[in-house]
Amino acid sequence: MATGISKKEQLSVDSLTAVMPHRDPHPLPYTNFFEFTYPNKISVAEILEPLPSSFLKVMRNGETKKITTVDDNSIILADNYFGLHKLLESGEKATLIYLDPPYNTGMDFQTRDLKHAYNDQISDTAYIEFMRRRLILMREILSDDGSIYLHIGHQMVAQLKIVMDEVFGIKNFRNIITRRKCSSKNFTKHQYANINDYVLFYSKTENYKWNKPGQKPSDEWISKEYTKVDAKGQYKLVPVHAPGTRHGQTGLEWRGMLPPPGKHWQYVPSKLDELDAAGDIHWSKNGNPRRKVYLTDDKKRPYTDYWEDFRDAHHQSIVISGYPTEKNYDMLKMIVGASSDPGDLVLDPFNGSGTTMHAACELGRRCVGIDQSFAAIEATLKRLRKGLSPMGDYVQKNNESLEKKNQDLFGFDKENLGVVHTSNTGYEISFIADAELLQAFKEEILELAAI
């Protein structure tokens, strides 16, 4: 590997003395593994011990049926620790897991029609162990060719990176992706504006599904990248050599010249002759060859680890579920398409508004979502069975709209906040509930099932 340091520099006094062990009386550790230590951190074996629980499928007509396995395309009302144990018990394997857990912000969250969604207040160590236990279960559910995307804010991204390294292994870390979540904010009196959140992308093994995603390039990018035009179309110039010395045909002389020092030809000389004969080699005034790469109609730009085109809903016409912290639908479609194939199982154990399930259904994947929030279950069932509403529908025009006029059990104003029936909803979604929750909140759960 080229380091840019000569042999003489590597053997210099400064380089050698910098690593002399006697210069520091406290030797550094020589291991790549580290983890958090705190009270009540339980073992992996304890986490994986079977957890007794009972789940019931709740029909729209109010009937219930005890289940042993989870149907495809199901939303589960339960603490996801129990829901994940149920999936593990059933032997299901997910090719893709996406989760958008609470960020540990210290706040409470409401839906746009002012219903309580979830509480996000917990100590740091409790949060870390809460997530670790669930991530270990997710690892066991994930298929060997699977991937996991953990969406998190700045509050706990550093801590969860360490936990993910512990659970999935440092070698299976793929990316830490920065997503621009919103436009500029005004919270800049004492600090920089907070406009990003993060996605930790890991695979289960080194052999994972990857359907390289890309985006249609803008006209501005095309004009800068493909600067030349000939009879065949718009093109750019790229080198015909590549790094590394080769002693085969790609290291031989071509057209009276050898590859530059430390390089080799990208193609064997006979192939370069074919490209030149076809007019696909450009010769500079100095006689240097470069290959022409033409712009094609299906050209896409690969995504980087900075996502600036997947902001949260920011316009009144954008259709949403009304659930807080709802993530961008196009982002989830991109993730589902990149890391799974049609027919694969996609799991979202912090389901929220059902965006992951929606994207999975739209792209022909099987899906399961888990959430313990009644508001999340309501948002998901309405979204997938009926449709979404433009964000503007949630803007209350006057105080009268806050009255309990034509409301259902959860305060959803059916007259003023009607759903928009779109072509990509109307899916058959099963509703499953924890038996203990059903016993305690039977009336509420049956009304959810009837959506």
Q: How far, in whole angstroms, is CA 191 from its chain's centroid?
A: 28
| 89 vs 78: CA distance, rounded Å | 15
At residue 260, the pLDDT reads 93
Q: Is the pLDDT of residue 320 over 70?
A: no
Q: What is the secondary structure of 172-206 as a DSSP string?
A: GEEEEEEEE-SS--S--SSS----EEEEEEEESSS
Residues whose CB falls within 8 Å of the CB of residue 314, separated by 6 or more in sequence, listed in order: 182, 183
CB of 304 closer than 8 Å to CB of 288: no
Mean pLDDT confidence for 322-330 = 82
CB 240 within 8 A of CB 291: yes
DSSP state of 400: G
Strand partners, 58: 64
Tell me the C-alpha distance between 408 and 449, whole Å: 13
Residue 415 has pLDDT above 50, yes or no: no
- CATH numeric code, 44-215+304-449: 3.40.50.150
Angle value at C-alpha 279, between 275 and 284, nearest 5 degrees: 95
Report the 10 Å Cβ neighbour count for 251.
14
Q: Which of the two residues, 421 and 280, has the higher pLDDT score?
A: 280
Q: What span, in angstroms and rounded, lies between the C-alpha atoms of 369 and 321?
A: 16
What is the sign, positive or negative, of the torsion defined by CA atoms of 306, 307, 311, 317? positive
Q: Give residue 8's pLDDT.
A: 59
* Mean pLDDT calculated for residue range 197-204: 97
Cα separation, 302 vs 357, in Å, equals: 25
Q: Is the pLDDT of residue 94 over 80?
A: yes
394 compared with 365, residue with greater pLDDT: 365
Does 406 have pLDDT greater than 60? no
Residue 183 pLDDT class (50, 70, 90 cuts) = confident
Q: 18 near 24, Cβ under 8 Å?
A: no
Count of Cβ atoms closer than 10 Å to residue 219 Cβ: 7
Question: Distances from the Cα of 85 to the Cαs of 49, 118, 376, in angstroms?
Answer: 9, 22, 20
Beta bridge partners, 149, equal 98, 201
Residue 79 corresponds to which tokens in the numbers above?
Answer: 């603490």
For residue 369, pLDDT over 80 is answered with yes
Residue 104's nearest CA partner among 87, 118, 80, 121 is 121
C-alpha distances (whole Å) from 96 to each of 79, 139, 300 are 20, 11, 23
CB atoms within 10 A of CB 348: 28
Question: What is the per-residue DSSP string for 233-263?
Answer: EEEEEEESEEES--SSGGGS-BTTBPPPTTE
Q: Which two tokens stand for residue 72?
A: 């495809």
What is the C-alpha separation between 412 and 443, in angstroms, rounded?
A: 16
Residue 181 has pLDDT above 70, yes or no: yes
Distance CA 392, CA 383 (A): 16
**pLDDT at site 189:** 81
**Alpha-carbon span 147 to 346, nearest angstrom:** 10
- Write out 261-275 in H/E/C secondary structure: CCEEECCCHHHHHHH
Kindly tell me if the per-residue pLDDT of 272 is higher than 60.
yes
Q: Which two tokens stand for residue 429?
A: 């979604």
Q: Give residue 390's pLDDT.
A: 65
- Per the prediction, the chain carries an average pLDDT of 86
The model's pLDDT over 67-88, given as tens digits with 9 standing for 90+, comes to 999 999 999 999 999 999 999 9
pLDDT at residue 404 is higher than 50: no
pLDDT of residue 24: 74
Among 152-156, 206-210, 410-414, the least confident range = 410-414
Predicted pLDDT at 388: 75
Question: Which pLDDT does position 196 carry in this prediction?
Answer: 93
Examine the pLDDT at 329 and tell me if it is beyond 70.
yes
The answer to which of 31-40, 51-60, 201-210 has the lowest mean pLDDT is: 31-40
Please give the Cα distance from 59 to 422 (Å, whole number). 24
| pLDDT for 58 beyond 50 | yes
Which pLDDT band holds residue 53 (cuts at 50, 70, 90)?
Answer: very high
For the ranges 41-45, 169-173, 183-187, 264-268, the lowest mean pLDDT is seen at: 183-187
Predicted pLDDT of residue 422: 47
Q: Check whether 407 has a pLDDT greater than 70.
A: no
Which residue ranges make up each domain of the chain?
Answer: 44-215+304-449, 219-294
Q: Which two tokens stand for residue 106?
A: 């210290």
Nearest Cα residue to 351 out of 387, 314, 317, 384: 384
Tokens at residue 11, please?
């053997």
